[in-house]
Structure 1
Amino acid sequence: MKDFTSILAEAIGLIFAGDADLIEIIALSLKVTLSAVVIACLIGLPLGAAVGAFRFPGRTLVTILLNSLMGLPPVVVGLVVYLALSNAGPLGPLQLLYTPTAMVIAQTILVTPIVAALTRQVIEDLDTEYSEQFRSLGVGPLERMKALLWDARYSLLTVALAGFGRAVAEVGAVIIVGGNINHVTRVMTTTIALETSKGNLELALALGVVLLVIAVMVNAAVMGLRASAVRSAYA
């Protein structure tokens, strides 16, 4: 049996050689994840901003619900989406099960509450800071929300990156609705699980290294955006 050093060397070799299967899997992973994050932001940012900026009956309940949904079990989300997209489900005629679209749907459901809840916290804190100024200027509700979103843009980019980090590492939901079909729905996390069980440790480790690099890049981007936000605040 190969030792760790030789497996790691072969894994690095696959990465630098631009292995076709490796590139295909990485490309699909990024496509699915970015699609899910964009959709989640389109839903979660305005939803979180509205809950954070406005006062309305049931707001506390909505806040509790958003915070609770941040911890949605991925396998439960995968099961619900599977049932909805299966032939017996309401969306069965669309034939989306075991497609990248199904994986995007599952990841969107997982990421949207995270984006919405974090956005709500950012906007609520900012609204508290600016509330007296808004009242003195007679700023309307929509104008206030636009101003808050613009002023919080760096923090909200951090929120989006946090959603990306959550989505790109997802395995439970996507393997249920995607099926891990070769050249169709194989993404990094599901392939790592499959190839490890098959003993193909070189490909699994190569994908693990790429996933780790992406995680480091996302965290570096988050830190960079936070630093930019601090500098802009004191500019």
Structure 2
Amino acid sequence: MAVSFNLQQWLPFRRGFLLALPSFGVFVRYPRIGRFLYPSRWRQLLALRGRQEESFLPLVDEVRRKRKARRDSTLFTSYVESLLDLRVHEDDERAVTDGELVSLISEFLGAGTESTATALEWTMAELVKHPEVQRKLRHEIDSISSGEQRGVIEEADLSRMPYLKAVVLESLRRHPPVPFVVRHVEGDDATAAALGVARLPTAARP
């Protein structure tokens, strides 16, 4: 099942959305009054959301149409098809709404690629800026990759590369790829996954 998607038209919109994303953090921090405090930002957010739906919902509808027309079973299931089969157990086993579909698809396209690419770009930039760190890291890589399989590093080798881990973690600390972190604090005691979570003292809240 192949549904056309114009990536060249989507990328500029995606870039604009990511650039505007930090300014939308006020709606997470003030979910009830944020739209009234920052009406222009709220209108911008709604406009961007409308662009998302215009881009993705026709693709979702095409998948729905082809699923109904297809009679033979197939071993291949696309990501969108898996979302169409998804049911929300906490809400009477309902299907995922179109709005939720758009959010999940957008997250799938952006979160898994943009954050990784951004982290790699900043890590490389810091290595260029600090050649002494680059030399130490290169020495560690050469020491691990030397031998019969020269130039090849397996996943099991990563546990023997503490300097590489330190470089990556420091890069993430200095340049976090996520614009903001959503945090909510419960006012009272709560239960999550059968575990009790005590009320956070007022002085410790963000």
> Which TM-score tier does this pair reach, normalised by the shorter chain?
0.3 to 0.5
TM-score, normalised relative to structure 2: 0.33
TM-score, normalised relative to structure 1: 0.30
Q: Which has the higher strand share?
A: 2
Larger relative CO (CA 8 A, sep 6+): 1 or 2?
1
